[in-house]
Amino acid sequence: MPVVPPRSERLESQATVPSQRGVKDMATSPKSRVAERIAQLAATAASQNTAAAVPGTGISSPVAEISRDTVQPKLERTGAKIKERAHPDRLKQDYLNYLFWLHEFVLDPPTEQLFFVPTKKRVRLANLTIRSHNREHGHDYRPTPCKLFEWVLGAIEYDFSRLTFVDHGAGKGRVLLLASEHPFQAIGGIEFAEELHDDAIMNIQQYPRSRMKCRNVECVLGDASEVGPPEGETLHYFFSPFSREVFAEVLHNIVVSYRQKPRRLYVVLIDPPEVADLMEKSGAFMRLELPLQQRLKMRLFSPYEVVLYRSLA
Ligand SMILES: C[S@@+](CC[C@H](N)C(=O)[O-])C[C@H]1O[C@@H](n2cnc3c(N)ncnc32)[C@H](O)[C@@H]1O
């Protein structure tokens, strides 16, 4: 007798299997388990909704609970942060920080690599050897941004070969060497901190000669208020080296020399203390407006204020 039923019988018996298994099997099938789980979740959600009703609205939703207890305070905190960040003072400070970063890490490096002793780091005067009664009036060392120096020189419309360039508070000599790439008649720096002065000397000795249009560069160790100004036409450069009191002494020396021999002088002030009144009272200088191109560059990209004066002669 054949073990396998004929094909027609087989199909018929397979087709009837589910119905024959009946309701008992359905209760344990995956589909029914999912349905059961959904029912459980719905019951839980319903009980939560009742607890989270929005007062006075009759709205019952899990969202109500989330917004009241968690989202709303978060939104308030975020709103306060945005408000603080968008405050004009804060935006100004952020932009200033960005400009410092731009100069130090993007614009300065190509030139900075030319110095034998790096010039980019700030140095506190507190730990340096300074034999001057003006020690307490001195400001810490920080370098002029290289591009800013170029913009400043670009604002002076005069034949540089007629001028001596003097950096009052020369630091490590960065500005002296940037100036040496222009055809000044002579370039001199005065620095009162011995360690900085030594670095400046080293940098002057090692700077690539091929870049120097003026090789008559020196840096003296001393106090700027005790070194007399050159007799000829001069560009006096001050990057916030000292207090208003010391500036008044240095300016006095310059003005006395000018009165003896009226001549073309320039005074460049970078990030100056409040000295506009001293310049005005001197009766020897007038403030120059920077040419439009330089003015725009400095407005947009200088982290420091730049003020330019010219002698009346
Ligand atoms: C802000 S740094 C400027 C450095 C450099 N001129 C430049 O622009 O890169 C000021 C420098 O002035 C020097 N200094 C401060 N008071 C001074 C004084 N009375 N005589 C000479 N140098 C002084 C400090 O030691 C410091 O190196």
pLDDT of residue 71: 86
Average pLDDT over residues 134-154: 98
Dihedral sign from CA coordinates of 221, 224, 229, 230? positive
Q: d(Cα 254, Cα 246) in Å, to the nearest integer?
A: 13
Q: Is the pLDDT of residue 6 over 50?
A: no
C-alpha span between 290 and 304 (Å, rounded) = 14
Residue 17: pLDDT band by 50, 70, 90 thresholds? very low
Measured CA angle at 312 (ends 187, 164), to 5 deg:
5
35-39, 197-201, 226-230, 307-311: which has the minimum mean pLDDT? 35-39
Share of the chain above pLDDT 90, in %: 74
Please state the rounded mean pLDDT for residues 125-148: 98
CA 228–ligand 1 middle distance (angstroms): 16
- Residue 42 is predicted with a pLDDT of 72
Task: Assign domain 115-311 to its CATH superfamily.
Answer: Vaccinia Virus protein VP39 (3.40.50.150)
CA of 240 to the centre of ligand 1 (A): 7
Q: Is the CB of 167 under 6 A from ligand 1?
A: yes
The predicted pLDDT at position 74 comes to 87
Tokens of 272: 């100056």
Average pLDDT of 52-74?
Answer: 66
How does residue 90 score in pLDDT terms, banded at 50, 70 and 90?
Answer: very high
Question: Is the minimum distance from the CB of 233 to ligand 1 under 6 angstroms?
Answer: no
The pLDDT value given to residue 62: 57
C-alpha separations of 47 from 33, 44, 50, 53, 62 in Å: 22, 5, 5, 11, 10
Q: Which residues, in sequence order, are bridge partners of residue 236?
A: 166, 267
What is the pLDDT averaged over residues 216-241?
98
The closest of 108, 112, 105, 238 to 171, measured between CA atoms, is 238
Give the 3-state secondary structure of residue 53.
strand
CB within 8 A of 64, min separation 6: which ones?
52, 53, 54
Q: What does the pLDDT read at residue 219?
A: 98
State which ligand 1 atom lies nearest to the alpha carbon of 223.
20
Q: Which pLDDT tens digit goes with each residue over 145-187?
A: 999 999 999 999 999 999 999 999 999 999 999 999 999 999 9
Does the Cβ of 243 fall within 6 Å of ligand 1? no
Q: Counting atoms of ligand 1 from 1, which one is nearest the CA of 189?
A: 6
With a 6 Å cutoff on the Cβ, whether 123 touches ligand 1 is no
Residue 15 is which amino acid?
Answer: A
Arithmetic mean of pLDDT over the chain: 88
Instruction: Specify the pairing of strand 217-221 against strand 306-311.
Output: unpaired
Tell me: the pLDDT tens digits for 263-297?
Answer: 999 999 999 999 999 999 999 999 999 999 999 99
**Cα–Cα distance for residue pair 173/114, rounded to 1 Å:** 12
For atom 26 of ligand 1, which residue has the closest CA? 141
Could you give the CA distance from residue 177 to residue 114 in angstroms, rounded to a whole number?
10
What confidence score (pLDDT) does residue 12 get? 43
The four Cα atoms 152, 156, 159, 160 give a dihedral, to 10 degrees, of -30
**pLDDT for the residue 301:** 98
Asked whether the CA dihedral 191, 203, 160, 286 is positive or negative, the reply is negative
Interval 90-100 mean pLDDT = 97
What pLDDT shows up at residue 28?
Answer: 60
CA–CA distance from 130 to each of 124, 186, 189, 249, 281 (Å)? 12, 26, 16, 19, 31
pLDDT at 14 over 60: no
Q: What pLDDT score does 311 carry? A: 98
- Give the pLDDT of residue 170: 98
Q: Contact, 192 vs 222, CB < 8 A?
A: yes
